[in-house]
Every structure is written in C-alpha cells, then in structure tokens.
Structure 1
Amino acid sequence: MSKELKESITVSPFFLFFLIHGTQTGVGLLGFQTKLFSGAGQDAWVSVLLVGVAFHVIGVLMYFLLKHAKNGDIISLHKELYGRWMGNILNLLLYCYCIVIVSIVIRSYLEVLMTWVFPSTPLWILSFILLLVIVNIVKGGFRVITGICFWGVILPSFLFFSLYYLIQYAHWSNLLPLFNHGIHDYFVSAKESMLSFLGPEFLLIYYPYIKNNMKSQKWFHFAVGYTTLVYVLVTLFTFVYFSHGQLLHTVWPTLIMSKIIRLPFIERFEYVYIFTWVLVFLPTCCIAVWGGVRVLKESIGIKPNITLWVSIILIEMIVTLCKDTIDVNRVESITIIFSSIFLFIYLPVLSIWVFIKNKLKKTNKEIET
C-alpha cells in the first residue's frame, strides 16, 4: 500500500511532470543524434518513438509496484519481498546506480564545457564546483529540488524556438527512403537512445513525496510523452539539416546547429546553449544524489549528511578517473546494459511476482473465511 508523508515536505502531483521530464532531458540532448544514426540511419526517429512508448509501459509497471509497496517505494518493497539482508544488498546496487548516473551526466557536460569554453581548466576543479552546487540544492530538501526541476524545464524550453531557424536550411529528402532498415538496426538505435530517456526510474524512490500519489500517474505519462516528442523533433530536425556523411562525423549536432543563429547582441549563440544547459542536467544530478542518500538512510540508517558527502567524494573520484571520451563511452555502455536489465527485465519480473503473491494472499484469505 502506498504511503504519503506530511504535507510540508511533499509536492503536488502536477510537479511530477517537471520531475520526470527534468530528469529525462540532459546533456545527451546535445549529441545523441550521431549515435542514433549509426543504427537505423534516417529511420532512427522510429526507434526514439518506440523507446518513448516502452517507457509508458514501464511507468504502468512502476505504479503497480509502488501501489503494493509497504512504504510506497522500492526500498521497502525489496525488504518485504527478499528479507532484510538481500533487500539491503539490492538497495545498495540501486545506490550505486544513482552515483554512476550522476557521474556520467557531470562528466559528459564537462566534456562539452572543456572543449568549447574552458580547454585549459583542470577537470577536477570544474567537477568540484558543480558538485558544490548540487550539495547546496540537495541540502534544501525535496521541494527545493522540485523547484530546480521546474526551472530546469521552463527556462531551457525557450531554446527550442531556435529550431525555427533550421527550417530554411532543411533538406527533407534526407529522411528518404522511409522504413528501409532491418529490426536489428532499429534495435541498435533504440539502445543508443536509452541513456537519454533514463530518469523516470527515480520515481521508485521519491514516490511518497508526491501528494495524492495514486492520482499522479497521468502526469507521469504527460511528461514521458512530452520528452518523446522533444527527442523525435530534435532527431528529425538534425537529420534534415545534416547530410548523412556530415552527421557521422559530428560530435554535438545540437550545438553545431545553434551556431547558425545570429542575433545583434549575441555573436556566439552556442555559448547560450552550453551555459543554459547547466539548468538542464542539474535536475537529474540532484534527484539522483538525493535518491542515493535516501536509499542508504532507509536501508542502513546512515545519517543523510554523512551519506551526502561520501556520495560527492565517490562521484568526484569517478569523474576524474574518466580521463577521456573512451572512458566515458565505456561507462555509458555499462550503464545502458544495467539500466536495460533493471527496467525491461527486473521490473516486469518483479511485477509478476508481486501480482502472484497478492493473488495467493487473497485466495488464502477467502479460504480462511
């Protein structure tokens, strides 16, 4: 049965839209198109659409599980189903997942920042500054993080109007021929887009902090639908702007496209993209760090302040150990595999288990009566 906390630390269901969409859009939006194209080519937008639909299904499974969790989160569900020790081991794996997600997001953004703006600044200094910002936000609590998610969705959304400038340079024939790829090609593109869609799974941790949480499911689907629309539109605009050969050799297509924008008071509009994108990736980092802290608090009972600083140290170590793009890509590949197993294998199996368990419990009660 789901659980809600006191009203002073919870947020309205409406804000779930910003919590979900804010964690789904991040640094990947600046350059995910190149990896997508390596699979289904000009048809890769179909894979993006299918991944978006898959996350709607995952959302239904998550709400089913949370409905039957004792405290309304996966932390208590693990303990209930597996016992204290095994449940805590699974919760520790969930904590590690949160830490890795934050590390990847920060390292990917710093790759952009160091290439375009601060090429001579040491990696550890930039990451340390960003982590201090994250610490201050997380210390403010869940409602402050929700506020960051709100502005992290609203302010950068104005940048999408810049896509209007691309229409005059569009070559719509780049999208032809349609649907001429095999299932394996679509699968490759879907796998490459997975990392960009990650974020809704953190609902399994912060669900009790949503008021009337059982009625919030529509906002989850609105958010995933909006995210899917954004990714499909950006993918299509990228494909009609770049030729096939250009796209294969372009690292950050979204940034490159922003360079065509010329305003009387801004010479390098791509810098606006880069610095505004801090607000885009902060929601994911804050939610993940906060979620990791809560997992350890509820599982092992470690004080949040201690867990927070331990988490920051671990993230700083991982970020600085990723020396180049090859290291980042390697960690991303591992994360995609782990998250795919968690979302598309573990959650469905867990849902079936919970369903069978509840049916057996209901049958036993009927027999006893």
Structure 2
Amino acid sequence: MIHLEKININQLKCLVFLTQVGVSVLTIPYAQIHYSGNDSWMSILIGGVIAQTVILVIYLLGKRYEDRPLPLYISAIVGKPLGSVVNFLLAAYCAQNCLMVTITYCGVISRWVLFETPWLVVIGVSFSIGAYMASSTLRTVATITQMLMIMFLICFVIILISGMGKGDFRHFLPIGTHGIGPLIKGAFPSFWLFSGYELLLYAFPFVRARKKRDILIAVSASNGFTTLFYLLITVIVTYNFSENQLKSIPEPMVYILRKFRWPVVQSLDILFISIWLSVVTVTVYIYFFLSARYLAFIGGKDKEIRNHPLLVWILAIVCFGGGLWGSDRQWQSRFSEYHNWTTAIMIAILPTILLLISLVRGKAAGG
C-alpha cells in the first residue's frame, strides 16, 4: 500500500509547516487590513489561536481511531454510504486547494516574472511537477519536503534582509483603536491562511511517535512557527506601508523586495519568487497526494483503488482544465471567496461534527 512506511515527528513538522505557508506570504496582510487596519497583526494571532483549536479537535478525532486514517474510519462514524460521500468531498476539497494555490502563485509569476509565457504553459508545468512528486509514497513525500526546508530558510533570510529598509513605526499607532469586532472579522481570513494541518486527518496513524501526544505537540509547534512567521511578515509590511497604502497593494511583500537595494542581487523580488516556487510546490503536491488517497477509499476499504499514481495524474488533468480560467482576476477572486468558505467547512466544521458524532456513539455503545 502507498502508506506502509511511517514518517517521523520531524518530517510531520516539515509537512505541516510548509503546507501551511504556501502563497499567502506575498499577500499578508492585504485581506486583514480591510477589517482591522494597522491592528492586522492581532488578527493574525487570533487566526493562529483558532487554527490551534481546530488542531486539537482533529487530534482528538484521530486519537479515537489511531490505527486508521480518516478514509477508513469515516464509515464507522457516519456509515458506508455517507462515508463515501465525505471521502469524495474531502478529495474534491484537496483538489480545489491544489487549483487555488497553483493559479494564485502562477498569477504572481505571470505578472512579475514570466510576462510573455502563455498561461497554460505556466500552470501546466506547475501541475506536472506537483503530480510527479505526489505520485510517491507518504514517506518519500515527507523526505522531499524535509529537504526543501533549506529553500524556505533562504527565503526567510531574504525577507529579514528586505525588512531592514526604510519604514515608520508610527504605522502601528494607535494600537487597538479598531475594536474587537474588526479584529475578529480580520481573524477569519487569517484562519484560512493556516490550512494545512488537516493532513493529520490522514497521516495520524502513519506517524512514528513514542506517545500520541507527541503528534499533537509537533503539529502545534508547526502551527506556532507559522503564526510567528506570518506575524513577522505582517510587522515588516506594516512597518513599510501605511494603512491607506496597504488597502491598494494586494502583494505588499513583492513591492518591499523590489524596492530593496542589495549590491549582490539586482532584482531581489524575482529571486525570491523563483525560490519560493519550491515552497509553494510542497502545498500543491501534498494536496494532490491527499486528494488521491481520499479518492482511493470512496468505495470503502475492500474496494481501495491501489493505483495511486494514476489517481494523482487524473486529478492533475482535471485541475489543469479548471486552471485554464485562472488567468482571469475576477474569476480568481470569486473562486477564492468560494474556496475560503469551503476551507472553513472542511477543515473546521466537518472534523468537529465527526468528533461529536463519534463521542455520542461511543457513549451510546458504552451505555
């Protein structure tokens, strides 16, 4: 089977962290600024706390069926027919994530780097690389992801260097004037940025740990690192731009990189976008992998589709077909709104409902 070899705790941390960071590093805090203004860094923190709450729910659910991934134990909670439907919805959600991440970052590449390259070529190459990587086993995927942490570290250094440019700390003042309501509203788009930890729904039984609690600690640590990283980006961006300026700059980090003058590299923004592509690819192939695994178990355990690479490439072709419309900014904006709501439903509401049903059924059986 595709998941026979287990992964270790460090590999799990890398999988969750690099799946989370994705494209949003370039856009933070554009969505939050419209709600919480210069207090958007608070909305980022609240979003991280909400994500941590959902991680706890997913952990408690996985712990109740620690020897099986969600595609196998879903039928024990809601029955086989509805379980197959849930597996299909999760497969569709993961494929949707691949599509959303790919068209978003390919849009950045097309606008800032590959101006003359046809759209279908850009997304075709991106989907092909993601599908090729996702065709491997979970252990192989985790090993590759662990190696790609070096690319993230390079980008992290670039962000720190660029953040040392001219700015104004007065952009953060006055603190807390927007009120709790706008902060909460800004926390919702922040929460969507943290998606990625839901891979634990599938990977839970395949993590090698001395205690199951170590899995919760590992995923929580990754979510904490992501929160701090997003907070750093928000601070750097707010330091460089005023609230009014940020409302009209959808990709503020790119502008910061472009205006920064570094004698060693002429175009720091192009260098960053090129290197960050490898980090974005992690998100794409992780979701391709998960989508194929959920799809494989639609018919239940006895009818598992064992040709994992075939499923991955079928999904890649479907996503490529959908991605052909992704160059339209208006279409991309509407798709993004739909994606945000489906993300909240699939990674927060669905696991919570499944956990509650599982607890009720467990008490009923015990009583």
On whether the aligned pair clears a TM of 0.5, the verdict is: yes
Give the CA deviation at 1:262.
3.0
For 2:24 and 2:354, the matched residues in 1 are separated by 29
For 1:233 and 1:264, the matched residues in 2 are separated by 24
> How do 1:162-311 residues align onto structure 2 when only pairs under 5 Å count?
162=158, 163-212=160-209, 214=212, 215-300=214-299, 301-302=304-305, 303-311=307-315
For 2:278 and 2:57, the matched residues in 1 are separated by 30
For 1:357 and 1:316, the matched residues in 2 are separated by 41
Identical columns (%): 22
What SS does structure 1 have at the residue aligned with 2:193?
helix
For 1:133 and 1:164, the matched residues in 2 are separated by 30
Is the deviation greater in 297-306 or in 234-243?
Answer: 297-306
What SS does structure 1 have at the residue aligned with 2:297?
helix
Query: Which residue matches 2:362?
Result: 358
Give the CA deviation at 1:106.
0.5
For 2:26 and 2:337, the matched residues in 1 are separated by 18
The answer (yes or no) to whether the contact 1:10–1:210 under 8 Å persists in 2 is: yes
**Mapped pair 1:144 → 2:148:** no
For 1:113 and 1:169, the matched residues in 2 are separated by 26
Give the CA deviation at 1:165.
4.1
**Mapped pair 1:331 → 2:335:** yes
Is the deviation greater in 135-144 or in 215-224?
Answer: 135-144
Task: Write out per-residue CA displacement over residues 2-23 of structure 1, whole angstroms, 9 at most, x where no aligned residue.
Answer: xxx64xx211112111011010
Is the deviation greater in 341-350 or in 124-133?
Answer: 341-350
Give the CA deviation at 1:358.
1.9
- The CA RMSD measured in Å over matched residues stands at 1.9
For 1:168 and 1:124, the matched residues in 2 are separated by 37
The answer (yes or no) to whether the contact 1:206–1:291 under 8 Å persists in 2 is: no
Give the CA deviation at 1:70.
6.8
For 2:106 and 2:162, the matched residues in 1 are separated by 27
For 1:168 and 1:261, the matched residues in 2 are separated by 7
Give the CA deviation at 1:226.
0.4
Q: Measured at CA, do residues 265 and 181 of structure 1 come closer, stay the same or move farther in structure 2, by a change above 3 Å?
A: closer
TM-score (norm 2): 0.92
Is the deviation greater in 236-245 or in 141-150?
Answer: 141-150
Q: Structure 1: 5+ residue runs without aligned partners?
A: 364-369
Following TM superposition, the consecutive aligned residue runs of length 4 or more in structure 1 with deviations greater than 6 angstroms are none
Q: Measured at CA, do residues 308 and 161 of structure 1 come closer, stay the same or move farther in structure 2, by a change above 3 Å?
A: closer
Q: Structure 2: 5+ residue runs without aligned partners?
A: none
Task: Write out per-residue CA displacement over residues 274-325 of structure 1, whole angstroms, 9 at most, x where no aligned residue.
Answer: 1011111111111110111111112233332331221011110111122312
The answer (yes or no) to whether the contact 2:134–2:289 under 8 Å persists in 1 is: yes
For 1:19 and 1:144, the matched residues in 2 are separated by 11
Quick one: which amino acid aligns to residue 11 of structure 2?
F
Task: Write out per-residue CA displacement over residues 55-107 of structure 1, whole angstroms, 9 at most, x where no aligned residue.
Answer: 11111111111112274222123211121111001110001001100001000
Quick one: which amino acid aligns to residue 348 of structure 1?
T
Give the CA deviation at 1:168.
4.7
